Amino acid sequence: MLSNNSNQQQKNHPDGAALAYQLRKVIHSHFPGLMKLLAAVPDHRKRRVYTPQEIISAAIALFSFKEQSRNAINNDRQYSREFCSNFEKLFHCRLPHQDTVQLFFKQLPPEKLSSVQRALVGYLIEKRVLERYRVQGYYTIAFDGSGVISGSADRYGCGLKRESKTGVSFQYHVLEARLITDSGLCLPIASEWITNEQQAEYDKQDCENKAFKRLAVKIKEAFPRLPVCVLADALYANNPIISICEQYGWKYIITLKDGSLPGVQRCLADDPPTIGNSFIHTPKCDNKHQSITQQYYWVNDLTHEKHWFHYISCKETICNTHTQKTTTTHFVRITNMGVNADTVIRLSKAGRLRWKIENEGFNTLKNGGYEMQHLFSRKCFNAQKNYYQCLLIAHMVNQFV
């Protein structure tokens, strides 16, 4: 067994040796440079018993094997020879105690591990592993934020302050950019913490839109020629976000809610659905008791604050042929990608891929054994950030398994 800590871990990993073997195959095939990247991480310590490669590998294993806590992997290290053997076969190094990892992570700049993460994604792009998932030549990258830490006390001294009827809470959120594919992959490109860390005194707290500006700079610097198509929810349907996309030469598909961009909404009344800009599509449904009808409608060349884009609407009706019960959902988006009768279905489907960052992304990290919201470092935010980066690397590798 991989772990003897709990029945839950045994349920997650019935055969630790088999998992280690599959991880080894994936790393060898898709991420052959991982160990060299870890070995190149700078070592700031004076006394060195374990190398950076060994220390960071131990943190990645914490999440790859879904140990759920530092104490759990320490117990396996001490009491399970098979666990240590599987670790050594996978990472080709010794397994240090997590206290050693914690001390190293307290001083390691998180950007060092972020660069490892981006290098791994860059290798996949360079080897054209993700080539067939491009939309009109662009990689679909979803942006979304999620809460990681919350409590009545400001644990690290830079949390977002939230006041409600029940009292005051301090929250730590993170904004993620993930390369999404319709096959289910949700690969981390870069992340940005949403905190008040950069300013002790502030008039306005940090927010997702501010974090997007910082995150966009990171991505553009790391992948200057990458053809990006931004997938985002209605929070991003505003002038500053669209301006950044245009500045960087990025495409976008952004959700539009009722009431968003009211000037655009009024223009749509002058261009109702006709035979030239709408049609009905009946896609194949895997459920034999259901039928799906999709009504597509689009309008080209709308303008908002000097920005030109197109409008896409898909009204989807699902009918249960057994009960005759129907449900209708309306998907509305704006995009600066070319829209016509030949592309509207593909673009609408691409826009819906944004949900994968919530499901295959945050939901998996929170409820799939990765324990995203666990305090792996209770007092040092810098160390907590480094553990989070290792979580992202482990999740990326595990997806290919």
- Whole-angstrom distance, CA of residue 55 vs CA of residue 386: 12
Q: Are the C-beta atoms of residues 110 and 46 closer than 8 Å to each other?
A: no
Q: Are strands 251-255 and 228-232 parallel, antiparallel or unpaired?
A: parallel
Q: Are the C-beta atoms of residues 330 and 313 closer than 8 Å to each other?
A: yes
Q: Are strands 139-151 and 307-320 parallel, antiparallel or unpaired?
A: unpaired
pLDDT of residue 264: 85
Report DSSP letters for 17-79, one per residue.
Answer: HHHHHHHHHHHHHH-TTHHHHHHTS----SS-SS-HHHHHHHHHHHHHTT--SHHHHHHHHHH
pLDDT of residue 119: 96
Which regions in the chain score pLDDT beneath 50? 1-14
* Alpha-carbon distances, residue 40 vs 63, 65, 109, 382 (angstroms): 21, 24, 14, 20
pLDDT of residue 12: 44
What does the DSSP 8-state code read for residue 196?
S
Q: Which of 160, 157, 56 is nearest to 108 (CA)?
A: 56
**171-223 pLDDT, tens digit each:** 999 999 999 999 999 999 999 999 997 555 556 899 999 999 999 999 999 99
Q: Are the C-beta atoms of residues 331 and 256 closer than 8 Å to each other?
A: no
- Whole-angstrom distance, CA of residue 354 vs CA of residue 181: 10
Surface-to-core class of residue 288, CB atoms within 10 Å of its CB (0-12 exposed, 13-18 middle, 19+ buried): exposed
Task: Please say whether the dihedral angle defined by the alpha carbons of residues 98, 100, 103 and 105, taken in this order, is positive or negative.
Answer: negative
Q: Are strands 251-255 and 326-335 parallel, antiparallel or unpaired?
A: antiparallel
Q: CA-based angle 106:108:112, to the nearest 5?
A: 145
pLDDT of residue 147: 96
Report DSSP letters for 151-175, one per residue.
Answer: ESS-SSS-PEEEEETTEEEEEEEEE
pLDDT of residue 145: 96
Q: What is the 3-state secondary structure (H, E, C) of 201-245?
A: CCCCCCCHHHHHHHHHHHHHHHCCCCCEEEEECHHHCCHHHHHHH
**113-152 pLDDT, tens digit each:** 999 999 999 999 999 999 999 999 999 999 999 999 999 9
pLDDT of residue 83: 93
